[in-house]
Structure 1
Amino acid sequence: MSATLPTNDAHPGLQQGERVHTSRWTPLQILVVAICTVINALDGMDLLIMSYIAPAMAADWHVGFATLGVVFSAGLAGMLVGCVVVAPFADTLGRRPIVLLALILMTIGAVGSGFANSIGVFSALRALTGIGLGTLLASVAALVSEYAPAGRRSLAVGIFQAGYPIGAVATGLVAIVTIPAFGWKATLIGAGAISAVLLPFVWALLPESVAFLESRQPAGALALSNSLRRRMGWSELPALPPRAMAGNLPKPRDLLAPELRQATIALWASTFLSFGVLYFVTSWIPKIAVVAGLSQANGLWSGSIFNLGGVIGDLVIGWLAVRRSIGKLIALFFTLCAVLMMVFAQHLSLAFVLLTAFGLGFTLQGGFSAFYSLSAQLYPARVRSSGIGWAVGIGRGGAIIGPMVGGALLAAKLPLWITFACFAVPLIVAGWFAVLASRMRQLSVSDN
């Protein structure tokens, strides 16, 4: 592995050892992170809106929970396809066009879902929405990491990841009003309209990645790269560096090259396990809070408090990671979350349940958000979107399994602490794998 690949201090847009001498934020960098954060809020919006419309849709179409499960799985399956099939094209065609394509797919899927009149059509459109979302997450995460100021990648990704719980909380507050007033179909159409409104702003304002321009070198790359460099106060390049594997779509085996293999496998194991825990807690926390002794109304509050904790956790871990190992921070956050999960399983007062829910969101979502920073550090620009996409795609497998296993454990009416223990242990293991992936990355750089 070449020593010029990005570390936590080197900027990924630079080549052949050149470094940025300032960590200040420029207007362009702020703009890119802000746009990507808003885009990431669409993921939180999509997850929560389906949870809120499910009862109304089931009553309107006279379908049961098994059928609803198929609908939910269609969206997750679409995300998997977007992550591992479409997102890698951002490494050959560019981040910007793939982000725009993903937004178009998501808009069509969301608006179309509001006009669907059958479960089959609705599920197909939910899958299309999922493809758009899965593609977006990998592509915009790569953009954020590549536009972050020197030594500020983890902070930028933390801000970007905070968009997810913000979108989730905002959607919940809006859906509570719009579903009774306008119906679940109109609420879905409104969600699609948000994507449609965002699309022209992204087209006009979101630039291409400097790292992509200088590694893949499409037509006019030098002029466009130097124009972006001037806007960020970077030194201009007199000529482009040697071209990096131009024209070929990155393949999974590129992520398993000898210098990346151990780190990639450790990263995949970590994301798979942590995705399963995250989606179990996110999907079931209101129900678990009721099982723990709260009323239905207070149980819904626990979900909102959980997402609020996630906003703060995303920002805090991004700030901490400026000077600390991202792998060790993930392990610390996940270990604390495992302890809080066992606390949450006890019979507590309302105040302590909500406080623990906040802590769960802080540690679980905060630690989880750091995977985007870790992935960006592991992979060079030529395969960065592919690397992030495959890590998230592998994780989606855990996202499908986690809620199913959790539901089966809850249905078995086992003591709540046993159910949580079944997820706390994998979460600690996920943290250990994150440390291993981070160490493998450091070794691959220091060995050269």
Structure 2
Amino acid sequence: MPKASMISHTLGETGPREAVMTGPHRVLIIGGGIAGLEIASKLPKRIGSMSVAVTLVDREPAYVWKPMLHTIAAGTTDVWQQQTSYVAQARNRSFVFEPGELKAIDRQEHSVRLGALEIDGRCILPERSLSYDTLILAVGSQANDFGTPGVREHCLTIDSRSQAMNFNRQVMARMLETLAADATLRIAVVGGGATGVELAAELIQLTEVTAHYGAAGLRDQVRVTLVEGSPNLLGAFPDRVAIAARERLEKLGVTVLTGARVVAAEADCLRLADGEQIPAELKVWAAGVKGSDACAAYDGLELTRSNQIMVKPTLQTTVDPAIFAVGDCSSLAVVDGGKPLPPAAQVAHQQASHLIRHLPGWLQGRELPPFTFRDFGSIVSLGGYGAYGSLGQFGLFRGGFIRGRAAQLGHVLLYRSHQSRLHGFWRGGLIWLADMINSRVRPRLRLPD
């Protein structure tokens, strides 16, 4: 890539201050999640005739909407039908895709180092460096094990597409073993946030759907336990949503334990602070949220205790105006001294939209306005068993509670509007139509190969 760029490395909150006009301005986006992929997909069109090159980096070959990962993990949704290939999206939306994982940032040289790409033990791409003029970090988040002994050795996570697919392989193999041995499979899900609650419901739905494929007894052979350290489930939701979700899970047969802090994970159980053991052959850690473990690569960027990158209201990092951070990997308190914004899909989308709208002007020297967040509420979906949500703090029915078909429709529309932003209105509509057809002609769950 050319070392010279359209705009010099002297950047500020009011935009680049000198133009050299010797090459395109290089916008490098690390992380192809909700925020990163939306920016890469829409920014090239917004910049029009400006000489700007947009590059997206991600370690996965394809993208899956993060709120859908628990359905991929349970096998109630087929990953191959729901994923978006980065290579194809780059071709359709006029950006460049570079496969790889961030290893280091050199802020002095305005470059990032990517690790080697290996497939089945073979090196496909060597370690390499990419230069940037503007860097956007959108690397997402991961479950926080809080240093709990045994979690990394004995618990699975579902923070990414590959992790969700791995969990699906594991749960399918365990269920086949359970059927063959006429035994009991105990699954423990640690974390009573949206991911843990939704995964517990999907696992119950998985056992019921398998009855259509000859495994009628599996529903009674699988035991799901949901463990949450706080007094209530869904701490980020209103109490009414949390209570309704818990009641529904318990009716489905999920054992819900709240105020139960896990102090260790072992091969066949979880140990709680009060000395109780929760037997489990399969354990999923979905508790807590922290920034990427790659935080050591951030070259002096200011971080929170949970490894999230601290940003100004303009979404620029506090120590380098040439670097932005958006989505789950960033930490922004919209009110001085207030709580940071939650790591939620709507925050990532709104921050992406803010940069898509204002970054072109900033590249031309205009001032970056501060980001403003609007809470439009949130929805937790229990698969085919219902959904519950709040309507947020904007609109006619602010703070309202929805459930049933209205909440399920709202959850579906969130996903479909996201697809429309990525692919355009008509293409997004065709994808929705294809999904509806597939739901009628394909198996209702991801069957073992």
Superposition TM-score, scaled by structure 1 size: 0.26
Greater share of residues in helix = 1
Greater share of residues in strand = 2
